[in-house]
A and B are shown apart, each in its own frame.
Chain A
Amino acid sequence: MSVGAPKIPVVVAEVVAVNDLIKRFRFVRRDGGAMPVFSGGAHVVVEMDDHGTRRMNPYSLMSHPADSAGFEISVRRDEAGRGGSLYMHNHVRVGMEMVLSQPVNLFPLDARAKKHLLIAGGIGITPFVAQMAQLQAMGGRFELHYSVRSPALGAYVDRLRDHYGPRVHVYHDEFGEKIDLATLLKSQPLGTHVYVCGPKGMIAWVHATARAMGWPDRAVHSEEFLAPPVGQAFEVQLAASGKSITVQPNQSLLEAIEAAGIEAPYLCRGGACGQCETDVLRCDGIIEHNDHWLTDDQKASNTKIMPCVSRFRGAALILDR
């Protein structure tokens, strides 16, 4: 059970191959009504019925936040993933009926900032597409630094350059171009906030560099959705429901709980939001904490687990669920 308002029944209105790796999908409501307005940085969870397997993946909204006629997401094909992106790429067609969650924003712009410095890597561009549209409408000051593998894989580069001109800076790995982060961070006016969305290494690089240069932590924002990692199958006892379940190698703990017919809270399903936090009653073994939510102390104490991305190895795990 997701918190908040009911889900949104949609139909796929458009599927566009943006490049070899990325497809864009547009969804409109089945009843023809208006989509909720969202804020730049928000995501929706897309529910997929992948030939009997229920997949629920979060994707950042990249349409204009004020466009209530439909929602757009971009999906990067991940051959090594668990299959959600492949399902979107291979099976989702115009006219198909799907279900979206309400938009949730875990990566909002801080409206108190004097300037917004946006740093994107690859498919991490998507939340910024919506944020830049919002900033443009608000008259906000911003600058995008966007790192892509090659011109062919630089999704939306032309469109962004057309819209925002010199505020868009693109770096191509293929040509050895790299964001000069130290110079960039040093030269920002006081009151700038930096936002980063991209690969794990890029996010860690921006956080570490900003901290070493005296940026306040609260002026550094990031979002990374984790796909639930695969692993060994494991057994879990759910004390509140009186059930024992097996989590399959390719399944997340949250998915296994849901498959057992138990309602568990969730929002992002990617280790970021904290909604699915669950108390651990007994842990004889090692919890593989894969989330960004729990503190290091909480992780070490093994008294909490985030079932959306975390796994277990050992003799017994009992949860208060």
Chain B
Amino acid sequence: MTKTEFEPAIPSRPSYGVLSPGIGSAHLFVADGEGADAVCDLLSAADGLKAASHIIYVPGANGCDKSTALQALGVAQFHRSPSFAAALPRLTKVLADAHMGLQIYTAGTEGLMAQVAAAAQAAGLPYEAVQMEHRGSLARRVQCVHCKGVTENVTLDPFQCSHCGLSLFVRDHFSRRLAAFQGVCIDAEDPGQIPASVERFK
């Protein structure tokens, strides 16, 4: 079961488990922020995997950087990237060169995990093939359904779209394809009637 407590939500909202060692020829880990802890937990208990493991790590938006601990694991490859966007070309290349038997693990924030799962699906893998464990912040990656712009690390609801400026209500409706929750204009019917923002996602 997940180590993060989630509020009750609609059934389609993604849920997460705990990473466990898979059987395979190679092991790819992609984590951000506190997700490093999940990777350390798994690899500390599964020493045999390290020689065939590749870790891609993005420090958290909250400043959490556990690169040192990950590097100390002694895996075959460790790569630290300043952002997921910067890591994506590497991830895409790793997936393009890989063979069936590769095990994929992702840990950290929902936005990161969903983007990893989307990249794996684009590479032809089933959604279920990616193990996910939530760690750290519950801040959301949100797509504005009006301008299609994505705002990262949304903690407030409603919040102002960083692209078009509309005030958006953050739904639990999650798009796996876009790896984002959906934000909908909150005052479309009554322009200007915008409730005060609340910090819903920490």
Q: Which residues of A contact B (CB under 8 A)?
A: 112-115, 185-193, 211-219
Residues of B with C-beta under 8 A to A192? 100, 124
Nearest residue (CB) in A for B121 is A112
Chain A residues closer than 8 Å to B24, beta-carbon distance:
213-214
B142 to chain A, nearest CB (A): 26
Name the CB-closest residue of A to B102.
Answer: A190
With most chain A CB atoms within 10 A of its CB, the pick from B98, B99, B103, B128 is: B99
B23, B24, B125, most chain A CB atoms within 10 A: B125
Q: Counting chain A CB atoms within 10 Å of each CB, which of B23, B126, B128 scores highest?
A: B126
In the bound complex, residues from chain A placing their C-beta under 8 Å from that of B123 are: 114, 190-191
Q: Could you write out 24 A-B pairs with CB less than 8 Å apart?
A: A112-B126, A115-B124, A185-B100, A185-B101, A186-B25, A189-B98, A190-B100, A190-B123, A190-B124, A191-B95, A191-B100, A191-B125, A192-B100, A212-B23, A213-B100, A213-B101, A214-B22, A214-B25, A214-B100, A214-B101, A214-B102, A214-B103, A215-B101, A216-B126
A182–chain B nearest beta-carbon distance, Å: 11
Most chain-B CB neighbours within 10 Å: which of A112, A185, A187, A190?
Answer: A190
- Contact across chains for A219 and B100 when beta carbons are under 8 A apart: yes
Expressed in whole angstroms, the minimum distance between the Cβ of B98 and any Cβ of chain A is: 4
- Majority SS at the chain B contact face: loop
What 13 new A-B contacts, CB under 8 Å, besides A185-B101, A191-B125? Answer: A113-B124, A186-B99, A186-B100, A187-B99, A189-B100, A190-B98, A190-B102, A190-B123, A191-B124, A192-B100, A193-B124, A215-B101, A219-B125
The residues of B with any CB-CB pair to A shorter than 8 Å are 22-25, 95-96, 98-103, 121, 123-126, 128-129
Contacting residues, chain B, for A212 (C-beta < 8 A): 23
Q: Are A216 and B101 in contact (CB under 8 A)?
A: no
Known: A214-B23, A219-B129. A188 touches B100 (CB 8 A): yes
CB distance from B52 to the nearest CB of A (A): 11
Task: Indicate if the CB atoms of B23 and A190 lie closer than 8 Å.
Answer: no
Q: Contacts A189-B99, A190-B100 hold; do A213 and B124 have CB atoms under 8 A apart?
A: no
Chain A, Cβ-Cβ closest to B27: A214
Q: How far is the CB of B22 from chain A (nearest CB, A)?
A: 6
In angstroms, Cα B123 to Cα A188, docked, is 13
Contact pick for B125, options A115, A186, A216, CB 8 Å: A216
B46 to chain A, nearest CB (A): 14
Q: How far is the CB of B54 from chain A (nearest CB, A)?
A: 13
Question: Nearest A residue to B94 by beta-carbon distance?
Answer: A190
Task: Enumerate the 3 nearest inter-chain pairs by beta-carbon distance, A residue then B residue, closest first.
Answer: A191-B124, A214-B24, A218-B126
When distances are taken between beta carbons in the complex, the residues of chain B under 8 Å from A185 are 100-101
Q: Chain B's nearest CB lies how many Å from the CB of A284?
A: 38
- In the assembled complex, how far is the CB of residue A217 from the closest CB belonging to chain B, in whole angstroms? 7
Report how far A288 CA is from B123 CA in the complex, Å.
Answer: 42
Please name all residues of chain A whose beta carbon is closer than 8 Å to the beta carbon of B23 when the two chains form the complex: 211-214
Q: Which chain B residue lies CB-closest to A212?
A: B23
Residues from chain A with Cβ under 8 Å of B102 in the complex: 190, 214
Residues of B near A115 (CB, < 8 A) are 124
| A192 to B100 alpha-carbon distance, docked (Å) | 7
Task: List, in ascending order, chain B residues with CB within 8 A of A188's CB.
Answer: 99-100
Residues of B within 8 A of A216 (CB): 125-126, 128-129
CA distance A186 to B23 in the complex (A): 13
B124 and A218 contact, CB distance less than 8 A: no
Q: What residues of A have a CB within 8 angstroms of the CB of B128 in the complex?
A: 216-218
State A215–B95 Cα separation when bound (angstroms): 15
Q: Which of B25, B96, B100, B121 has the most CB of A within 10 A?
A: B100
Neighbouring B residues of A190 by C-beta, 8 Å: 95-96, 98-100, 102, 123-125
Q: A186 to B124, Cβ gap below 8 A? A: no
When chains A and B are docked, how far (Å) is the Cα of A242 from the Cα of B10? 42
Closest to B23 in A: A214
Interchain CA distance A189-B96 in the complex, whole Å? 8
| B132 shortest CB reach to chain A, Å | 14
- B99 contacts which chain A residues (CB < 8 A)? 186-190
Q: How far is the CB of B164 from chain A (nearest CB, A)?
A: 32
